[in-house]
Amino acid sequence: MADLKIFTGNANRPLAEGVCRYLGVTLGTAMVGTFKNGETRVKIEEHVRGADVFVIQPTSNPSDHHIIELLIMIDALKRASAARITAVIPYYAYAKQEKKASGREPISAKLMANLIVTAGANRVMTIDLHAPAIQGFFDIPVDHLTAIPILAGELDETDLNNIVVVSPDSGGVSRADEFRHRIGAGLAIIAKHRPEPDVAEVLEMVGDVEGKVAVIVDDMISTGGTLAEAAEVLLHRGASRVMAYAVHPVLADDAPALIRNSKLERVVVTNTILVPPHCRDPKIEIRDIAWLIGEAIRRTHEGSSISALFQATHLRQELLV
């Protein structure tokens, strides 16, 4: 079997280190920096000829820079004769630009897919794409993992009852429904619109939240506006408490402050994206999903099925029995 090698750029080194700890391998040595003119400079510093290589790089803010790091690393690995290169992209940027919402707009999510394939990736592994159909933008295999069962499993453990799961927009209904199904709760749906980019306004809500603990489920927190607005509406409609579970902590702009000052009781996210110290807040709890990526890498490397990772309802221990 080919050697398993894992490399990372600068987007989320702690996550890559966590994956390596899980797998019991050493993180591959690579210099990923910048030239004085600002261009990205990469040198793979160990041999990869014939190896099964995984490059872990969420394309988080600054997305363009992290995407270029990923592309150039893949190019370097391809030219160094790696046998297979898997781009492990725990957070896939530009995913909200997956269709033309109006004339003369790009489909940036497709362009990103083209770039990743052109660079030389043979496979892609990602987590909770904003729009699952983005998988079809690639003509190479895509393993689309999900952290929703893990987040739902955690809620189960806190012994809360009387929960209603809330999708904060129509696009997130199937995600919220998956979460709801895991814990056997009801579902409410908020209709949201964006009067301008990055501004969320609640239009209407369907479902009964009166006297219930409202659990908002979303794929990402960007400005935090969607969650803050939803929390106001839910409490206004009679919810007793509001909390949120989201996979990707994009935390753009003043999102941490907005969340801190919001009616949300707690917000649980994963570490697909590195949350820098200035964005940390006691209200924002971060859950480690390095093991999920590690297990998916192990199974991909060994050529075994990863479907168990989608079936796993709760925790790592349960998954591995």
Whether 12 and 274 have beta carbons less than 8 Å apart is answered as yes
Told to check if 219 binds ligand R5P by CB under 6 A, we report: yes
In whole angstroms, what is the distance from residue 241 CA to residue 279 CA? 24
Question: Which of 59, 61, 86, 223 lies at the binding interface for ligand R5P (CB under 6 A)?
Answer: 223
DSSP H or E run through 156: helix 148-157
Written as six digits, the tokens of 202 are: 């609640």
Residue by residue, DSSP assigns 217-283 as EEEEESSSHHHHHHHHHHHHTT-SEEEEEEEEE---TTHHHHHHTSS-S-EEEESSS---GGG--TT
Told to check if 201 binds ligand R5P by CB under 6 A, we report: no
DSSP H or E run through 291: helix 290-302
Q: Which stretch binds ligand R5P (CB under 6 A): 48-56, 134-142, 202-210, 221-229?
A: 221-229
Q: Which stretch binds ligand R5P (CB under 6 A): 158-166, 167-175, 201-209, 283-291?
A: 167-175
Nearer of residues 162 and 174 to ligand R5P, judged by Cβ: 174
Q: Which stretch binds ligand R5P (CB under 6 A): 109-117, 133-141, 219-227, 299-307?
A: 219-227
Told to check if 198 binds ligand R5P by CB under 6 A, we report: yes
Owner of token pair 């999903």: 289
Among 141, 152, 29, which Cα is nearest to 88's? Answer: 141
Told to check if 113 binds ligand R5P by CB under 6 A, we report: no
Written as six digits, the tokens of 74 are: 């893949």
Told to check if 256 binds ligand R5P by CB under 6 A, we report: no
Q: Give the interface size with ligand R5P as a residue count (CB under 6 A).
A: 17
Q: Which stretch binds ligand R5P (CB under 6 A): 66-74, 111-119, 215-223, 269-277?
A: 215-223
**Per annotation, catalytic residue among 5, 99, 110, 192:** 192
Distance of closest approach, residue 193 Cβ to ligand R5P, in angstroms: 11
Told to check if 61 binds ligand R5P by CB under 6 A, we report: no
192 noted as active-site residue: yes
Distance of closest approach, residue 167 Cβ to ligand R5P, in angstroms: 9
Nearer of residues 18 and 224 to ligand R5P, judged by Cβ: 224
Told to check if 221 binds ligand R5P by CB under 6 A, we report: yes
Whether 268 and 151 have beta carbons less than 8 Å apart is answered as yes
Which residues bind to ligand R5P, rule: CB under 6 A? 96, 130, 168-169, 171-172, 198, 200, 218-226
